Amino acid sequence: MTRPPASKEKVLQAAERIVQQRGAGNLTYDQLVKESGVTRGGITYHFPTKDLLLRALMERDMAQWEAMEKSLRPRMENAEAADLIGCLRAMTRTSDEQRRFVAGMMSALTHDQELLEPVRELNRQRYDMQKGTPKEVNIMILELAAAGLFWQDITRCHVMPDAMRKKVIARLETLAKEWTQ
């Protein structure tokens, strides 16, 4: 007897809510049963261990991230600039849900670096073929600047006024257009 795929998605959605609200350390099968409405047997069928569940959450998050980048990609002739701007917009977008999820996963990620493998794989796909050309270095500088804004937002360490933040983000997008010519 196979489990319906909907139960797997219900478990992942519930796990994400628990991580956002209480952190990965408080993610238990008992909490998942209550939150998802899926039986413990149904949960362990899809995710026999908490590590596999956390890994699936990270994989799901990376798939959502890629979809978000594509949705934020502007329509323009320069496809490389459009891809880069989509990436920059995803990293500089403020989202309470994303912030809570990342913050909730931090303790699990520091204890088990293997959970970051989906992130590493996405980065390998993006960067392994790069040769370090001036254009590639410029693109990396923009992505690192956006990543800095992302982590400032996640950790709530930003002290930059919103007006300045908007100007910085606009400048990153302008440079993306210029540096990908």
* CATH code assigned at 27: 1.10.10
Is residue 90 located within the same domain as residue 168?
A: yes
> Taking 60 as the threshold, does the pLDDT of residue 63 lie above it?
yes
Rg (CA), the chain: 19
Is residue 72 located within the same domain as residue 132?
A: yes
**Amino acid (1-letter code) at residue 52:** L
Residues 56 and 47: beta-carbon distance below 8 Å: yes
Confidence of residue 156 (pLDDT cuts 50, 70, 90): confident
Q: Which domain holds residue 168?
A: 58-179
Is residue 168 located within the same domain as residue 82?
A: yes
> Taking 90 as the threshold, does the pLDDT of residue 93 lie above it?
yes
pTM over 0.85: yes
What's the burial of 105, exposed, middle or buried (CB within 10 Å: 0-12/13-18/19+)?
buried
Averaged over 58-80, what is the pLDDT? 95
Task: Specify the DSSP class assigned to residue 180.
Answer: T
Q: Which long-range contacts (CB under 8 A, 24 or more apart) does 93-102 make?
A: 93/68, 94/153, 97/20, 98/154, 99/153, 99/154, 99/156, 100/19, 100/20, 100/21, 101/16, 101/19, 101/20, 101/61, 102/154
Is residue 32 located within the same domain as residue 99?
A: no
pLDDT in tens, 25-60: 999 999 999 999 999 999 999 999 999 999 999 999
Residues 92 and 146: beta-carbon distance below 8 Å: yes
> Taking 70 as the threshold, does the pLDDT of residue 98 lie above it?
yes
Task: Specify the DSSP class assigned to residue 169.
Answer: H
CB neighbour burial string for 61-93, b if at least 16 within 10 angstroms, e if fewer: bbeebeebbeebbeeeeeeebbbbbbbbbbbbb
Share of the chain above pLDDT 70, in %: 97
> Taking 80 as the threshold, does the pLDDT of residue 1 lie above it?
no
> What are the tokens at 156?
């709530």
Averaged over 133-149, what is the pLDDT? 96
Question: So what's the pLDDT on residue 160?
Answer: 87
Question: So what's the pLDDT on residue 94?
Answer: 87
Is residue 65 located within the same domain as residue 138?
A: yes
Round to whole Å and give the CA distance between 177 and 181: 7
> Taking 80 as the threshold, does the pLDDT of residue 158 lie above it?
no
**Amino acid (1-letter code) at residue 109:** L
Question: So what's the pLDDT on residue 2?
Answer: 58
Question: So what's the pLDDT on residue 134?
Answer: 96
Q: For the ranges 65-79, 96-110, 166-180, which has the lowest average pLDDT?
A: 96-110
Is residue 83 located within the same domain as residue 160?
A: yes
